[in-house]
Structure 1
Amino acid sequence: MKRLVVLTGAGISAESGIQTFRDADGLWEGHNVMDVASPEGFAANPELVLNFYNERRKQLLEVSPNKGHVNLVALEKDYNVEIITQNVDDLHERAGSKNVTHLHGELLKVRSSADENIVLDWEKDLVLGDLCPKKSQLRPHIVWFGEMVPMLDKAIEITKKADILVIIGTSMQVYPAAGLVDYVKRSTPIYFIDPKPAVSESSFKNLTIIKDLASVGTDKLMKILKE
């Protein structure tokens, strides 16, 4: 069975009603990104950061996977599908995808401030005073600016083995995730699904651009792969 590796970004979750990462003015839900997505921001105002992610978590629990997510699950009948996502939501998992690697963390998990290996499932609000077993404050299980991306090596190994690479709803401008495409074999066909693709046909060898939202674009992808 061929290995189909899918890189997903904010565009696929946007169709479910989840806000994209940040607006054109650099603000995220009205906040300076560094105030709510950096270790320095957390140290300066932990309550603000916790409240910010509490709101994101509530929003996530109110939305559902869309057709783009569901179509990727359907592809598992014919391919060994592995998803590498920049998204911190669990919509791929809720749709039924079996192999999902989260590069930037997971909103429905929290971790110890003292030991990053202590990770807990979490769906309620996280507040000051919520402690890990080592009596350290719990924080969102999110990779913030300036922090290492612990799942990157795994993502690289997955990408290296791709027989087909599909990129959905990401500008391919955010590193290190954008660099993953450099690890596919030269002969690997690449499909780029985005209504406003930030690449051209000449950007990569064997590139096919599908200029559509994830829900429609994955429908078209499935037809192409069956031909």
Structure 2
Amino acid sequence: MKGADAWALNQALRNLGYAAPDSDTMTWDTITAYNALADSVGAKRLTVESQWTIGPGTFMWLPADSLTVDSCSIAVGQQTTIGQAVFVSAAVPVKATLPVNDAQRLAGDRILTIGDTAFDVPADAAELTDSALLAAVMSSSEYRLATLSGNAVTSSANGSGTLSEGGGGTVNVSYRWKLKQPIDVITVPPSSVVRASGNEGCVVSSGKSVPVAIVSSQLGKTMVRFEQNVSIDNVEIKPTNPNPCR
């Protein structure tokens, strides 16, 4: 037998640690791996008498390798029939939408960290659909907390977004991210940035207005970077009547 079903069977066996082939063909190694699994749980083995076939009553279809169970459709010990639903899984995210926020004012590729895994986020990305990234989201504590509470997750994360689920709902969740290529910035009091418009502004040092790009502003601090090659060691905290810097 060869095809998508054989490939899925081989991959499932390999994921469980059995020596099934990494292919879309059912071979003797597939049968050996399956029978080893069957023996470990007391299930029926594949035999020549059964023509080496796996009947629909011996397996369960799952839409993903791991799922969060939302509710059970049957009780323990209750008999089931072929095609009967055993449980209802929680909605599975199909994409992650990145909102425009302070962290996105500065253009550039970013690295998004979910748990112990880092993912590249292109500068122009508005939605993320990578299956590995969405799987990491589903297994994260931030996502589980968001789905349990029904509210947005708040933390010290630098990047937040909205997850769209297969059922049509959304969940707000936050993770940490950073620029892929670091830049030099300085931290100044928000009141020192004047003539601000969008992500542009000015700071005043020794009576001179200097143009800056606003990178981020939070917790009473504003991070800026100089648009010109200048070196200053102080800024006025609250400039009065500053001159234009552009």
Asked if these proteins are the same fold (TM beyond 0.5), I'd say no
**Rg comparison, structure with higher value:** 2
* Higher strand proportion (structure 1 or 2): 2
Instruction: Identify the TM-score tier after normalising by the shorter chain.
Output: under 0.3
The structure whose RCO (Cα within 8 Å, separation 6+) is larger is 1
* Higher helix proportion (structure 1 or 2): 1
Normalised by the length of structure 2, the TM-score is 0.20
Normalised by the length of structure 1, the TM-score is 0.21
